[in-house]
Amino acid sequence: MSIEPKKKQALIKKYATSPKDTGSPEVQVAILTGRIQSLTEHMKTHKKDMGSRRGLLTMVGNRRSLLNYIKKVDSKRYETLIDSLGLRS
């Protein structure tokens, strides 16, 4: 499951640190979060889709690793990103 190109471009534009930035950890986390949300909705209706479930768990692990990196480098950026994505309530 992927996200729509327009939504992906909007996420890149919102979380980019510079005009040509597409690969910073913040952008990667935002894109992964969009994909995770999309796949979570898919899993609600297709409970036995184990291939998608495995992909979902992989994406969650990748996002966790990126978030750990951001937290280690700059905890203020981490807090801002978590708040803007609404990950921790």
* pLDDT tens-digit map of 30-64: 999 999 999 999 999 999 999 999 999 999 999 99
Q: Using alpha carbons, select from 7, 85, 5 the residue that is nearest to residue 25.
A: 85
pTM of the model: 0.92
In the chain the domains, ranked by start, together with CATH numbers, are: 5-85 (1.10.287.10)
